[in-house]
Amino acid sequence: MGQHLLTPFPPAVHVIMSVEAGVEEIPLLLSGRAPPDTSSNLGSKNYDAVPKAVVLGGGFDDAAFQKMHDACKKEGAANKVPWLRVDMTQVRAGQKAATKPPSAAEFDAFAADTAERVKKCLEKEDVKGEGVWLY
- Give pLDDT tens digits for 18-37: 999 999 999 999 988 999 88
pLDDT of residue 4: 53
With residue 55 as reference, give the H or E element that holds it. strand 54-55
Which comes out higher in pLDDT, residue 96 or 89?
Answer: 89
Torsion angle (degrees, nearest 10) of CA 21, 89, 84, 59: 10
SS (HEC) of 78-125 = HHHCCEEECCCCCCCCCCCCCCCCCCHHHHHHHHHHHHHHHHHHHHCC
d(CA 88, CA 74): 27
* 41 closest CA partner among 75, 23, 15: 15
Helix (H) / strand (E) element for 66: namely: helix 62-74
95 has pLDDT over 90: no
